[in-house]
Amino acid sequence: MTIDQTALKREVARAAIRYVKPGAVLGVGTGSTVDLFIDELAAIRDSIPACVSSSVRSTKRLEALGFKVLDLNEVEEIEVYVDGADEIDPHFAMVKGGGGALTREKIVASVSKRFVCIADASKSVDVLGRFPLPVEVIPMAARSVARRLEALGAKVALRDFTTDNGCAILDASGLSIQDPAALEDEVNSWPGVVTVGLFARRGADVLLLGTAEGVKTFER
Ligand code: 5RP
């Protein structure tokens, strides 16, 4: 990551603060952009009763700053979820999971009323697929799922990583994803797949994009 990219991430992290609803439980994602967002949150800690986090990494960072972190089972609904993305397209569909937290991210997003995506300009693409698509799998299904991805034309690598759920991640590169929702449904239906890192069925509602000209806001 270049220094410029870090500066853009910090700007969107700061811009996301105005979307936080005082008095409501906040959903917090995972990644380097979210790390910066958590740092910014410290200034308004007293207005946030609790957070739900999408990873052990974010939970630790939040708790170190004095935030209360709840298990999702203790919460019925989340007003706002703030998270990053590896890619986002003009329809607000995303590839996520570069940090390996895709399953918990998808769960928290599914119960959130508003998904605010914070990303630097490099993440904005016309067609998803330049960034290798992460797929979390039950370890014994790694090869069988990899073969199915290869049949779609992907080159597949097993990440040297174990998720917070004790599972493995395949990174599928070389896919040009013309219909993200259809591919999300298909890959999710394969035996052994825990989650595919396509967020098309539940995409973002707001995109804060850090550009050289400042933070651009897109809403749908
Ligand atoms: C983690 C994610 C992240 O949101 C994504 O990888 C973006 O990360 P970063 O903010 O470090 O660029 O999906 O699983």
Tell me, using a 6 A CB cutoff, whether residue 101 lines ligand 1.
yes
Residues 108, 131: Cα–Cα separation, whole Å: 23
Tell me, using a 6 A CB cutoff, whether residue 36 lines ligand 1.
no
Q: Are residues 117 and 139 in the same domain?
A: no
Sheet holding 112-120, edge to edge: 69-70, 51-53, 26-28, 78-83, 112-120, 206-211, 214-219
Q: Are residues 111 and 211 in the same domain?
A: yes
Q: Are residues 97 and 160 in the same domain?
A: no
Q: What is the pLDDT of residue 111?
A: 97
Residues 36, 119: Cα–Cα separation, whole Å: 11
Q: For residue 169, what is the domain's CATH number?
A: 3.30.70.260
Q: Quote the crossing angle between the two packed helices 32-41 and 3-15, to the nearest 10°.
A: 50
Q: Which domain does 14 fall in, by range? A: 3-124+201-219
pTM: predicted TM-score of the whole model, two decimal places? 0.97
Q: Are residues 40 and 106 in the same domain?
A: yes
Relative to the CA of 98, which ligand 1 atom is closest?
6
Gap from CA of 58 to ligand 1 centroid (Å): 12
Regions in the chain scoring below 50 on pLDDT: none
Q: Which residue has the tokens 């410290």?
A: 42
Q: Are residues 11 and 114 in the same domain?
A: yes
Q: Quote the crossing angle between the two packed helices 56-64 and 32-41, to the nearest 10°.
A: 20
Q: Which of 30, 59, 82, 199 to mutate to test the pocket of ligand 1 (most atoms within 8 A of CB)?
A: 30
- Judged by DSSP in three states, 95 sits in strand
Q: What is the pLDDT of residue 134?
A: 98
Q: What is the pLDDT of residue 2?
A: 60
Q: Are residues 105 and 87 in the same domain?
A: yes
Q: What is the pLDDT of residue 3?
A: 57
Do residues 83 and 55 lie in contact, with contact meaning Cβ atoms separated by under 8 Å? Answer: no
Q: For residue 79, what is the domain's CATH number?
A: 3.40.50.1360
Choosing from 87, 105, 136, 184, which is the catalytic residue? 105
Q: Are residues 45 and 114 in the same domain?
A: yes
Relative to the CA of 84, which ligand 1 atom is closest?
4
Q: What is the pLDDT of residue 1?
A: 57
User: Count of domains in the chain?
Assistant: 2
Q: Are residues 89 and 107 in the same domain?
A: yes
Q: What string of DSSP letters covers 157-186?
A: EE-S---TTS-EEEEEES--BS-HHHHHHH
Q: What is the pLDDT of residue 21?
A: 98
For the chain, helix, strand, coil in percent to 5 are 35, 30, 35
Q: Are residues 190 and 205 in the same domain?
A: no
* Residue 11 known to be catalytic: no
Tell me, using a 6 A CB cutoff, whether residue 163 lines ligand 1.
no
Residues 18, 161: Cα–Cα separation, whole Å: 34
Q: Are residues 154 and 210 in the same domain?
A: no
Distances, alpha carbon 173 to alpha carbons 58, 128, 150, 152, 170, in Å: 27, 11, 10, 11, 10
Q: Are residues 90 and 138 in the same domain?
A: no
Gap from CA of 73 to ligand 1 centroid (Å): 24
Q: Are residues 40 and 143 in the same domain?
A: no
Q: Where are the alpha helices (H) located in the chain, listed in sequence order?
A: 3-15, 32-41, 56-64, 102-110, 142-151, 180-188
